[in-house]
A and B are shown apart, each in its own frame.
Chain A
Amino acid sequence: MAEATVKKEGIVAQVKEFITTIPVNKIGIKDIFNYPKTPVNNLIALLIVLFLAMFAIGVGNYLIHGHHAYGVTRQHPWGLLIAVYIFFVVSSTGLCIVGSLGDVFGFKDYEMISKRAIFGSIVTIMAGFAVIAFEIGHPITMLIYNVLTPGLRSAIWWMGTLYGLYLTFMIIEFVFLLKHDMKSAKIFGLAGLLIGLAAHSNLGGVFGFLNTRLISNGVFYPTYFILTAFITGIYLAFIMMGFRYKLNFPENAKKMLVNLAKIQGLLLAILMFFETWKMLTGVYGGMPGRADVVEHILTTPPFWVEVIAGMLIPFIIIISSKGNNIKGLFWGSFIGMVGIFFMRYDLVHDTQLKPLQMMKITEYQLPPKWVEYFPSASEIMISLGGLGLCLLLYYVGTKLFNLDADEAH
Chain B
Amino acid sequence: MARYGMALDYKNCINCKACEVACKEENGVLLGADKHRIWVGANNPDGVWPNLDIASAAFMPSQCQHCEEAPCEEVCPTHATYYDENGVVRVDSDKCILCSYCMNACPYDARYVDDRTVTVDKCTFCSDTRLARGETTTACQNTCPTKVRTFGDLDDPESEISILLKTRDHFSLKAHLGTKPKLFYLT
Contacts and interface: CB of A to CB of B under 8 A. Distances in A.
A352 B113 contact: no
Interface string A341-355: 000000000011001
Contacts of A351: 104
A2 interface: no
- Number of contact residues on B: which range applies? 35 or more
Interface stretch (A116-124, A139-147, A185-193, A323-331): A139-147
Main secondary structure on B side of the interface with A: loop
Interface in B64-108: 71, 74-80, 94-101, 103-108
Contact of A362 (B42, B75, B80, B174): B42
Nearest to A367: B44
Report the 9 A-B pairs with minimum CB-CB distance, sorted nearest first.
Answer: A137-B98, A359-B41, A357-B109, A77-B100, A145-B78, A212-B107, A157-B77, A142-B97, A149-B79
A15 to B, nearest CB: 33
B97 A141 contact: yes
Interface in B104-127: 104-113, 115, 118-119
B104 A78 contact: yes
A75 B118 CA distance: 16
- Number of contact residues on A: which range applies? 35 or more
A262 interface: no
25 contacts: A66-B118, A67-B113, A137-B96, A137-B118, A138-B96, A141-B95, A142-B77, A145-B79, A145-B80, A145-B97, A150-B78, A151-B79, A153-B74, A154-B101, A209-B105, A210-B105, A211-B71, A358-B41, A359-B42, A359-B43, A360-B35, A361-B42, A363-B42, A363-B44, A366-B44
B36 interface: yes
Contact of B104 (A77, A141, A160): A77
A212 B71 contact: yes
A352 B111 CA distance: 15
B137 interface: no
B23 to A, nearest CB: 15
Given A77-B104, A137-B97, A357-B109, A151 B76 contact: yes
A133 to B, nearest CB: 11
A357 B96 contact: no
Contacts of A210: 71, 104-105
A266 interface: no
Contacts of B71: 210-212
Interface in A335-389: 351-352, 355-366
Interface string B28-64: 0000000110010111100000000000000010100
Nearest to A149: B79
A136 B97 contact: yes
A146 B77 contact: yes
B177 interface: yes
B108 A357 contact: yes
A393 to B, nearest CB: 25
Interface string A304-319: 0000000000000000
Contact of A212 (B98, B100, B101, B105): B105
A155 B97 CA distance: 15
B98 to A, nearest CB: 2
A253 interface: no
